[in-house]
Structure 1
Amino acid sequence: MTNPFTEANSLRARLADPDAEVRRVAVLDLPYSDDDDYIELLTAALADEAASVRAEAAHALEGVEEEEVVSALVPMLKDTDSAVREAVAKTLAELKEPRWGHLLLGMANDTEASVQAAALRALRALKVDAAYEPALSASTSADASVRREAVGVLAYLRKATALPTLTRIATQDAEADVRKVAVGALGFAEQANVQEVVPALEAALQDSAWLVREEAAHTLGKLKLVSAAGKLAEAMNDDYWQVRVASARALGKMKALDALHVLVDALAHTVSNLRKEAAVALGELGDARAVPALEVAANDPDPDVRKLSRIALGRLVAAQNA
């Protein structure tokens, strides 16, 4: 039987070994050891001279939300080694307690883009009100990764005052992935100010990047913006089936009866994912005129299309008999 005291002593000896690889493996073993001080030992390993050890220690501390740990990790966003910085950023992004916000806010204005982006990413889920102004400022950064993370913070804080900034980014940012994130962020708009975002979302349906168009359809469906049903019906002819799928889903959520014909046409599309989504949407519309097309789709070669078409038919029959 292994003596836990001997095992712990051996592990500590390995943490002090001259060979960096031995120390790195010891760090890997620490969380699974019987050493009650493993968090303290991992925190100490963050100062190891070898970048590989520091990175492994940062990974191992993911999920540990203690003052000493977080205080040691935050300055390491400026570590000289990129792998260490990435490991630290990943661990900090898993923080859940808002009380860590004060440690990260200073980094949110850092002059180094990678540091600023990592700090904003960590602040996002913390929903710290004090992060609003730094995020608003960072939304105009020359660095796309910083702008993207800034949008994430603004989306999580859900402040109506950020909507003009988000609509601008959604339609004007030079990078498609930043526009996409901004389009998704517009989904937090409340009923009182939802009309502010309609023009931007409709414009995003015409974006040059299909991922942005797809996200616009998702967001319009989430907000159930019936006024945009016509634009979504047009998007059912998009060159990318992914955009058509998102548009069909949105039209179903809106119960957009005027889109009946485009959804019926989609039941015959070559892409089964689109046929499935069209069947679901037609069931949500509840229009008996869809019955003949759904009866055909109930014999579709794809089993999922058959199943969803039959469910949709069941809904329509139940609605007629109610």
Structure 2
Amino acid sequence: MRTRGYLLIPQPQAELLIVRSLQEEGLNDDEIAAQLQWSENKVRRYLDEDYELPRTASFGRQPIGISTRIGKPAVKPLIADLKDNDPLVRSNAVQALGAIKDPRAVEPLIAVLNDKDPLIQRQAVKALGRINDLRALEPLIGVLEDREKKPHVRMSAAEALGRMGDSSAVEPLVAALNDQHWDVRGHAAEALGRIRDPSAVEPLIAALKDQDATVRGNAVDGLAQINDPRAIEALSAALTDKSKTVRKKAARALTVIAGEDFW
């Protein structure tokens, strides 16, 4: 029985973890009740899919893995932790909610996009990308376009938009290809490749001339993912790029699009 360590976790979190651990080991309700010397009703309460921990339960000061393992019953307490004064508590809550991927967390996480700590803003962006709910689409576009945000927050917004895969993000991502920060441009190129909208082909071809090799390489990858023959000429020119990595990527992309071996 894997119960060691749970004694350091407040009730009822610890009890819930113990019950679910025993269930994963193959024990049924009756066997768990007998093992723990609990009533069957108590065991079934913890196994109920709709069971929710008290809102007063806090997870922000516990390891993120604990919250993730508990799952949906931890969502409401984690949402409450998003307003804690301690940035570590808020950070842990944001990351756990992103791992659990419960849609109830979307609106609270959108609010965290304006947290005073840029690191927590970025974690909220990533969490929303993992949950992949369209309610977050416009707020994430807003983060990408907000030049007051830190570059690492905005590049994560580009990444999240690519993960969501909605074509309404194409226009702002194309605009981000001209951002002053190379990491924002690079993540925008990567995101456009993931969305695979044909309207991004010409902007990505233009990005093959970016001064930064990472951006050029991501543009090559994006064109390969979209797989449009309009890119063949530009990718052929990229075979002579000064970056060895870009040249290799261009050869692979041409093999995908043109169906010929360019190695």
TM score, norm. by length of structure 1: 0.62
Structure 2 residue 119 is matched with structure 1 residue 177: yes
Query: Given that residues 227 and 257 in structure 2 are in contact (C-alpha distance below 8 angstroms), is that contact kept between their aligned partners in structure 1?
Result: yes
Bigger Rg over Cα: 1
Tell me the equivalent position of 2:43. none
Query: Given that residues 124 and 152 in structure 1 are in contact (C-alpha distance below 8 angstroms), is that contact kept between their aligned partners in structure 2?
Result: no
Tell me the equivalent position of 1:99. 18
Structure 2 residue 182 is matched with structure 1 residue 263: no
Q: Which runs of 5+ in 1 are unaligned?
A: 1-64, 76-96, 111-115
Structure 2 residue 168 is matched with structure 1 residue 232: no
Match of 1:163 among 100, 103, 106: 106
What does 1:1-16 correspond to in 2, within 5 Å?
none
Is the partner of 1:119 in helix, strand or coil?
coil
Tell which has more relative contact order, 1 or 2 (C-alpha 8 A, sep 6+).
Answer: 2
Query: Given that residues 98 and 130 in structure 2 are in contact (C-alpha distance below 8 angstroms), is that contact kept between their aligned partners in structure 1?
Result: yes
Partners of 2:163 and 2:236 lie apart in 1 by 29
**1:123 to partner: Cα distance:** 2.2
Tell me the equivalent position of 1:53. none
Query: Given that residues 232 and 254 in structure 2 are in contact (C-alpha distance below 8 angstroms), is that contact kept between their aligned partners in structure 1?
Result: yes
Match of 1:218 among 159, 173, 176: 159
Structure 2 residue 93 is matched with structure 1 residue 150: yes
Match of 2:243 among 285, 292, 302: 302
Partners of 2:109 and 2:90 lie apart in 1 by 11
Distance 1:98 1:242, change over 3 A: farther
What does 1:278-317 correspond to in 2, within 5 Å?
278-317=219-258
Is the partner of 1:283 in helix, strand or coil?
helix
RMSD, matched Cα: 2.6
AA aligned opposite 1:199: E
**1:146 to partner: Cα distance:** 1.1
Is the partner of 1:268 in helix, strand or coil?
coil
Match of 2:74 among 127, 131, 143: 131
Distance 1:200 1:228, change over 3 A: same
Tell me the equivalent position of 1:118. 61
Query: Given that residues 3 and 18 in structure 2 are in contact (C-alpha distance below 8 angstroms), is that contact kept between their aligned partners in structure 1?
Result: no
**1:120 to partner: Cα distance:** 5.3
Tell me the equivalent position of 2:218. 277
Distance 1:212 1:101, change over 3 A: farther
Tell me the equivalent position of 2:42. none
AA aligned opposite 1:154: L
Query: Given that residues 82 and 94 in structure 2 are in contact (C-alpha distance below 8 angstroms), is that contact kept between their aligned partners in structure 1?
Result: yes
Partners of 1:253 and 1:68 lie apart in 2 by 43
Partners of 2:19 and 2:175 lie apart in 1 by 46
Tell me the equivalent position of 2:38. none
**1:187 to partner: Cα distance:** 2.0
Query: Given that residues 124 and 156 in structure 1 are in contact (C-alpha distance below 8 angstroms), is that contact kept between their aligned partners in structure 2?
Result: no
Distance 1:101 1:209, change over 3 A: farther
Query: Given that residues 72 and 102 in structure 2 are in contact (C-alpha distance below 8 angstroms), is that contact kept between their aligned partners in structure 1?
Result: no
**1:234 to partner: Cα distance:** 0.6
Partners of 1:132 and 1:286 lie apart in 2 by 40
Query: Given that residues 177 and 185 in structure 2 are in contact (C-alpha distance below 8 angstroms), is that contact kept between their aligned partners in structure 1?
Result: yes
Match of 1:197 among 136, 151, 172: 136
AA aligned opposite 1:168: A
**1:100 to partner: Cα distance:** 8.6
Partners of 2:181 and 2:246 lie apart in 1 by 20
1:16-66 deviations in whole A, cap 9, x for unaligned?
A: xxxxxxxxxxxxxxxxxxxxxxxxxxxxxxxxxxxxxxxxxxxxxxxxx95
Q: Which runs of 5+ in 2 are unaligned?
A: 11-15, 22-52
AA aligned opposite 2:259: A
Is the partner of 1:205 in helix, strand or coil?
helix
Is the partner of 1:258 in helix, strand or coil?
helix
Query: Given that residues 205 and 216 in structure 1 are in contact (C-alpha distance below 8 angstroms), is that contact kept between their aligned partners in structure 2?
Result: yes
Query: Given that residues 127 and 153 in structure 1 are in contact (C-alpha distance below 8 angstroms), is that contact kept between their aligned partners in structure 2?
Result: no
